[in-house]
Structure 1
Amino acid sequence: MNRITLLLLLSVCVLSAQKKEQDTLTEVILESKALDRNPLVIPIDQINIRDLERHTPSSLIPVLNETPGIHIFSGALNTNRLTIRGIGSRTPYGTNKIQAYFNGIPITGGTGETTFNNFNPESFESIEIIKGPKATPYGTNLGGALLMNTKQPESGKIQLNEHFTLGSFGLLKNSLSAGYGNDSFYFNLISDKMLSDGYRENSRYDRDALLLDMGFTWNENNSIQFLFSQINYKAEIASSINYSDFIQNPKKAANNWMAAQGYEDDKSTLLGVSYTHTFSEKLKNTTAVFYSYSDHYEPRPFNILDEFTGGYGFRSVFSGGIPGKLKNKFNIGTELYTDTYNWNTIENLYEENNRQGSLEGALLSDNREYRSRWNTFADFSLCFNKFVMQLGLNFNSTSYSFRDYFNQGETNKNAKREFDAIWAPSLNLQYHFTPQHQLFVNFSYGFSYPSLEETLTPDGVINPEIGPETGMNYELGTENFFFDRKLKVSATVYYMDVENLLVADRVGEDQYIGRNAGETSHKGLEFQLKYITEIFPGGILQPYVNATFNRHEFVDFVSADNDFSGNKLTGVPENIINGGIDFRHQIGFYATASYRHIGSIPMNDENTIFNKAYNLINLKAGYKTSLFPDFDIEFTSGINNLFDKKYAASVLINAIGFGGAEPRYYYPGLPVNYFGGIKLHYVF
């Protein structure tokens, strides 16, 4: 608490200065990463349409992985774990410790879990990534925030788009969209179908998605937006395998998952309405109400999980400025999210089902959990000459209430856990030496609440001792443009110390005990370079490179009789390097080559087993032309993992071999694979 107090006092004493607006660049000039809709005054990482189109349209993972500090463990299309600066690396499955938004609507569940890779990449205009807890308006999670924004149709025209893709391992993807926009109305409707047989046994994937985004402006002071997303998918689960199988037969599924023919069947709905009212040039309000629903059924070797979640909430933000001589800007808002999580486990009798897969048996558990998350936040930016200071403060209150309808004991009937409220301040400082060169600093405090598995014991009882992780983030960076803004160079150094480290100790095949077990330090350097030049008339070349060098380690971590203090943090690559070259010609031809290096990864807390470093190269090329006015056709093709490198796309840390079996650490990555497609674009 002393550090928080010191930060607040420091904030009051700092001279403030004027924020110069971030320049935006055209298609042939590097883009700035600051968007007007984002309240942060310091630069953030932004993925734009050009970045999205550089990769296969089947997944968001390749483009997200090109962001410094980001690494996604991808066991399958439906099994992904996004980590930011090492935060989230110890989560066994899924993504938590970040807050995600879709067009400003929260999509992170009540326990902080986020599913992101089931969205269609072709739906997005941009994705913004805020690393660390400096995102005061977005929850101040230790990992940061993910802001996804849909495409907007061209004004005054009706557009029809068809994109059909075929690829290796039975990949088939078809995306059809229609859109229209004018000064007062727009709509965008996207239907997407994706199938894959999968590279491994028991890994077929089938997804249907529908997205409707529309808005209406009836005068200069009032507008409303509507968002509807429906995603249904069924994905077979191959699970992780041991080292012997990884080397000799990576196509193999885990024996028990294959015998049970395990899979997950998921249906999710997101509905949101957002209303914006402008009171004056100095004040406006945006308020959104939203509802989400998820129905999930997952037969597993150890049991069958049947769950559904209904959530709702609202988010309201006032933004503007205070009249006076000094330029300033403020955002004040609140966000409430509450959901009800219902889950049953059922006996799986697959061993008695004549090799026909999973079969429901007796009911094993019947549970319900009520979860509530309330954020109130404010930030204030004060400007003077070349300086800008932004002070932010976030207040969070979170509670869980658990009921067990299967066991009759009074302890399980009505357990409730209200976490202590958290105040999380943030201070951003920015100095512009010139319009092309700036320096920025961040001090911020953040937190991450435990997941469902960590809040309950294997017996289904609320754990009264476990609390949130907390951490202090220190960040120093620079962003520079050279040669008429054709060259962009940026670098950031950061340090974050995380206390009350959340650890999920595995005590059974699907049983974990969560506890606060120590302290970790996250230190790193992130570097980006982009350059764009016209190498000959009509030919544009854009090389880029970014790198992440880090040392994340346990400062204080004792588990049972083992002292892991000083060891490298489990599940974090030692370094990450991305690079590539984009080439485009005005006749419509384009080509891109991308390179990715992932350093070795410690897979257990003892640091005795490491996943080997690996390198991947991907290629993509295309040609776009007009068949006649207002009708374009585009052909694309690509190769992923050009040199057929054998690698683990994901690892399960601290794996345990039950019954004397070899531990299953590895999720094999795809070997060399191909894809090709055709796009049709009609405007009338």
Structure 2
Amino acid sequence: MKGAISGFFLCFAMVWGIAQEPAKKDSVTVLEEVILLEEAIKKKANGITPSEIIGPKIFRNYSPIDAASIINQIPGVYLLSGALNTNRITIRGIGARTPFGTDKLRLYFNGIPVTNGTGSSTLEAYDIENLGSIEIIKGPKGSAFGTNLGGAILLNTKESIDDFTRFTNNFTFGSYGLLKNNLSFEHNDDKLSFGIRYGHLNTNGFRENNRFQRDGFLLNSTFKINMKNSITFLLNHIDYTAQIPSSLGETDFIENPRQAAFTWGASQGFEANRYTLAGLSYTHSFDTSLENTTSVFYTYLDHYEPRPFNILDEFTNGYGFRTSFSGKLSFADYTIGAELYKDEYNWGTFENLYQENNGNGSLQGNRISKNKEFRRQSNIFGTFTYPFTSRFSVQLGLNLNQTKYDFRDLFNTDDSNKNAARNFNAILLPNFTLEYKLSDKSSFYGNISRGFSNPSLEETLTPDGVINPDIAQEKGINYEIGSRLTLLKKRLSVNLALYQMDVNDLLVAQRVGDDQFIGRNAGKTRHQGIDLALTYTAAVTAKLTLSPFLNYTLSNHSFIDFVDGDDDFSGNPLTGVPKHRINTGIQLKHSAGFYWNIIHQFVDEISLTDANTLYSDSFNIFNTRMGYQKQVLDNFSIGVDFGINNIMNTLYAQSVLINARSFGGNEPRYFYPGNDRNFYGSIQLKYTL
């Protein structure tokens, strides 16, 4: 570990020294253009709420299907990806104990909440190529965005302030049979902003039983009725089928990481999803000091998943609204609003008779269960920001959340019926932020905020389906200080955050039988850490800019009080979180249209059991991407690029399971292998009328 890190730090220091060589006077103009390109992205978080924004400059470092690497460049945020359809995002250790999927945070798409009624979010429902930015609020600081312990992720489509009509096609090909095409038409003028995109993706994947095929459609349109009123319509539809290779035991992971888990390969397990989001938003400016945006939305998910142990067939209808008023009172800014999300989740399971299907994979048998859940979450929120001086500001935020579950057993009758409901009490979540500005681009801040996480409906029930009235929401308080500095004539950007989050009522699954668990609140965790992001932009010549960066995450998370049955894990490091993560890179850009990036990622070992008896290996990954863009005619341009991932062909686990169990005398399956060395290239054609 130390050798790999120190070697790259030496390389980074050498580049840093070169970057500080004096440049010609006219290089200042080039430098300012680089800075303004990223600053054009409008922050969505309210007031002085600290957040991190991923923009085109970071997107350009990675393949257009590599959402994990894009998000993992942000310190404090870690996306574990078992496959393109198997993602789990943790923010400062929150969500690390979730076995599959992402929860304990809120996900928004163009301001519309897309996290379902139990708090689960699905990143793979969105094509990265359709995004202009990703904004991340780490921890429960964003009162207007749910105050979940993990925070919020705001996905935003591309925006433009220029008038144009443009056709763009980006075609990507690569290893594992990768074929991806993104075709778009965009129009923008004083009255109408209109964009329509169609995307297709097909890849066989690195592993057996790992094919992924997706078709997607995005329509986003805003019409300005007059100076005070505008209306926006959003439609996003994704249809994908993804085979599931699942996780491997240690021996299989080392000897043949390409293989699928035996039962998943034999059953040819997969998932098929059709997801639709439709939203209509209306914005009205009452005057220069008050504006309102109100959105209504509908979501639909149809999911079919043959697994070795059964076949899951489910669909969800979700709907809701969000309204937000933003205005000024004298010198103060305020935001007040409300958000309601309701969904109806219908699911059933069937026998999987793959063992009787002559090697042809899954075969649906008799029904095992049929269920329905009614789920509702409401948030009332407000923030008030007051500048005491031109440099010193205070912000108070409040969020009031209420959650309700109603479970219906539609399969069993009489005494075996498991109908149950749980209505959590309303919980008030305050948020207090201080900011002191050194200049327009430099500031220090402090924050204290309270957050929560809901248990899933299954965690509120006993194995017999009886409601557990004692189960409670996880609750925690976040303490944070930080700085956002721009130094050395705007060449050096330094973002630093130190935090501690104390989480009470940790949800754990207590074993009460051979294969029976009951959710209960049995623990307390402490999340301490440092998030550091350094970016230096230098004009080496009048036409050449060099941008080295370093992002570092220290995660010193531990169980303070954690007793699970007869086992006491108090004092142990938190399971599923690497203590150290480092992302470093060099971005080189020439005004003639050439760019080249090389990126390094280090991930420390990860504890795989609550007893800390087994760890994954740490690893170093190197990726590179280079490209060239050329304006061929006045209205036509062409771009080409080429990338290599995992240059050193490292064997590593891109995702892990914690506390995995063994079946039939086989090894517990902890590891999701990352891809070996692979290549990709893209060709982009752009025609502007």
TM-score range, shorter chain: over 0.9
Question: Does 2:436 correspond to 1:440?
Answer: no
Say which of 149, 163, 174 aligns to 2:170: 163
Indicate how the Cα distance of structure 1 residues 452 and 202 shifts in structure 2: closer, same or farther if over 3 A, else same: farther
Contact 1:30/1:488 (8 A) holds in 2: no
Q: Does the aligned pair in 2 maintain the 1:59–1:120 contact within 8 Å? A: no
Match of 1:366 among 370, 392, 395: 370
Quickly say closer, same or farther: Cα 1:153–1:526, change in 2 above 3 A.
Answer: closer
Question: Is the deviation greater in 370-379 or in 497-506?
Answer: 497-506
Gap change, CA 1:505 and 1:237, over 3 Å in 2: farther
Name the structure 2 match of 1:397: 402
Q: Confirm or deny that 1:96 pairs with 2:90.
A: no
Match of 2:361, SS state, is coil
1:329 pairs, out of 321, 326, 333, with 333
* Range with bigger deviation, 102-111 or 155-164: 155-164
Which of 237, 242, 267 is residue 235 of structure 1 equivalent to? 242
Kindly indicate whether residue 31 of structure 2 is the aligned counterpart of residue 27 of structure 1: no
Confirm or deny that 1:650 pairs with 2:652: no
Aligned with residue 256 of structure 1, among 230, 252, 263: 263
CA positional deviation for 1:49: 1.4
Q: Give 1:25 shift.
A: 6.7
Indicate whether 1:629 and 2:613 are aligned. no
- Cα distance change on mapping 1:302 and 1:512 into 2, 3 Å: farther
Q: CA deviation at 1:61?
A: 1.5
Q: How many corresponding residue pairs? A: 658
Equivalent residue letter for 2:348: N
Q: Which of 531, 534, 551 matches 1:526? A: 531
Which letter maps to 2:440? Answer: P
1:665 to 2:670 alignment: yes
In 1, distance between residues paired with 2:464 and 2:359?
Answer: 31
- SS, match of residue 176 in structure 2: coil
Q: Of the candidates 52, 67, 73, which is equivalent to residue 74 of structure 2?
A: 67
Within 1, Cα distance between the matches of 2:544 and 2:510? 55
Partner of 1:145: 152
Deviation at 1:317, TM superposition (A): 0.6
Identical-pair percentage: 48
Deviations 1:137-186 (A, max 9, x none): 00000000000110125633210000001111111100000000111111
- Structure 1 SS opposite 2:129: helix
- Counterpart residue type for residue 268 of structure 2: Q
What secondary structure sits across from 2:225 in the alignment? strand
Q: Residues 445, 26 of structure 1: CA spacing in aligned structure 2 closer, same or farther, 3 A cutoff?
A: farther
CA distance, structure 1, for counterparts of residue 217 and residue 348 of structure 2: 28
AA matched with 1:496: M
Matched, 1:593 2:627: no
The verdict on how the C-alpha distance between 1:150 and 1:505 changes in structure 2, with shifts beyond 3 A counting, is farther
Q: Distance in 2 between matches of 1:312 and 1:119?
A: 18
Q: Deviation string for 1:349-391 (max 9, x for gaps)?
A: 1111111111111110000000000100111011121110000
- Aligned with 1:536: secondary structure? coil
Kindly tell me: are residues 346 and 328 of structure 1, through their superposed partners in 2, closer, same or farther at Cα, counting changes over 3 Å?
same
Q: Hey, what does 1:346 align to over in structure 2? A: 350
Alignment check: 8 A CA contact 1:398 1:418 kept: yes
Note the alpha carbon deviations across 1:4-41, whole angstroms, 9 max, x for none.
xxxxxxxxxxxxxxxxxxxx974345845983543130
Contact 1:59 1:117 in 2 (8 A): no
Tell me how far 1:74 sits from its aligned partner. 0.5
Aligned to 2:254: 247
SS, match of residue 71 in structure 2: helix
> 1:479-517: per-residue Cα shift (whole Å, max 9, x none)?
111122111112110000000111245789997532212
Query: Alignment partner for residue 409 of structure 1, among 399, 409, 414?
Result: 414
Q: CA deviation at 1:413?
A: 5.3
Are the counterparts in 1 of residues 49 and 141 from structure 2 also a CA contact under 8 Å? no
Query: Aligned partners of 2:565, 2:511: CA distance in 1, in Å?
Result: 13
Which of 45, 48, 53 is matched with 1:46 structurally?
Answer: 53
109-118 vs 462-471, greater mean Cα deviation: 462-471
3-state SS of 2:373 partner: strand
Pairing 1:421–2:426 present: yes
- TM-fit CA distance, 1:578: 0.5
Q: Conserved in 2, the CA contact under 8 Å of 1:286 and 1:317? A: yes
Residue in 2 that maps onto 1:215: 222
1:174 to 2:174 alignment: no
Q: 2:460 aligns with which of 452, 455, 459?
A: 455
Aligned-residue offset at 1:438: 1.4
Describe the SS at the equivalent of 2:240.
strand
Q: Hey, what's the Cα distance between the residues in 1 that align with 2:90 and 2:197?
A: 29
Structure 1 CA distance for aligned equivalents of residues 654 and 476 of structure 2: 29
Across the aligned residues of Structure 1 and Structure 2, the Cα RMSD in angstroms comes to: 1.7
Secondary structure of 1:259 counterpart = helix
**Are residues 1:199 and 2:206 paired?**
yes
* 2:624 paired residue number: 619
Contact conserved, 1:292 with 1:310, CA < 8 A, in 2? yes
The answer (yes or no) to whether the contact 1:47–1:127 under 8 Å persists in 2 is yes
Taking a change above 3 Å as real, the CA distance of residues 279 and 653 of structure 1, as seen in their structure-2 partners, is same
* Contact kept in structure 1, 2:544 and 2:589, CA below 8 Å: yes
**Is the CA contact 1:29–1:485 (under 8 Å) kept in the aligned structure 2?**
no
The aligned residue for residue 547 of structure 1 is 552
- What's 1:682 paired with? 687
Structure 1 equivalent of residue 304 of structure 2:
297
Give per-residue Cα distances to partners, 1:391-425, cap 9 Å, x unaligned.
Answer: 00100010000000111135745411001110000
Alignment partners' CA distance in 1, 2:116 and 2:32: 36
What is the aligned counterpart of 1:582 among 587, 602, 606?
Answer: 587
CA distance in 2 between partners of 1:493 and 1:356 (Å): 54
- Aligned 8 A contact 1:73 1:649 in 2: yes
Instruction: Name the CA distance, whole Å, in 1 between partners of 2:303 and 2:457.
Output: 16
Distance 1:283 1:346, change over 3 A: same
Gaps of 5+ in 1: 1-23
Aligned to 1:3: none
CA drift of 1:458 comes to 4.2
User: d(CA) in 1 for partners of 2:32 and 2:509?
Assistant: 45
Structure 1 contact 593–618 (Cα < 8 Å) conserved: yes
Provide the rounded CA distance (Å) in 2 between the counterparts of 1:230 and 1:451.
26
Q: 1:384 aligns with which of 384, 388, 392?
A: 388
Quote how far apart the aligned CAs of 1:70 are. 0.8
Tell me how far 1:437 sits from its aligned partner: 3.1
Q: CA deviation at 1:658?
A: 1.5
Amino acid at match of 1:490: N
Out of 26-35 and 160-169, give the one that drifted further. Answer: 26-35
The answer to whether structure 1 residue 124 and structure 2 residue 124 are counterparts is no
For 2:32 and 2:324, locate their aligned partners in 1 and report how far apart those are by CA, in whole Å: 29
Using the alignment, how far apart are the partners of 1:624 and 1:314 within structure 2?
A: 42
Q: 1:459: Cα distance to partner? A: 4.2
For residue 235 of structure 2, what is the amino acid of its counterpart? Answer: F
State the AA in 1 paired with 2:133: S
One-letter code of the match for 1:435?
D
Question: Which shifted more, 433-442 or 640-649?
Answer: 433-442
**How far did 1:546 drift?**
0.9
Cα 1:452–1:93 shift into 2, 3 Å: farther
SS of corresponding position for 2:374: strand
Q: 1:33 to 1:497 in 2, by over 3 A?
A: farther
| Structure 1 residues 509-524: aligned runs within 5 Å | 513-524=518-529
Deviates more, 1:218-227 or 1:40-49: 40-49
Distance 1:234 1:142 in 2: 32
Q: In 2, Cα distance between the equivalents of 1:597 and 1:103? A: 32
Match of 2:21 in 1: none
Q: C-alpha separation between the residues in 1 aligned to 2:64 and 2:158?
A: 15
Structure 1 residues 679 and 462, CA gap change in structure 2 (3 angstroms): farther
Aligned to 2:285: 278
1:85 is matched with which residue: 85, 92, 115?
A: 92
Change (3 A) 1:409 1:466: farther
Q: Distance in 1 between matches of 2:591 and 2:514?
A: 57
Aligned partners of 1:30 and 1:530 also within 8 Å: no
Unpaired stretches in structure 2, ≥5 consecutive residues: 1-30
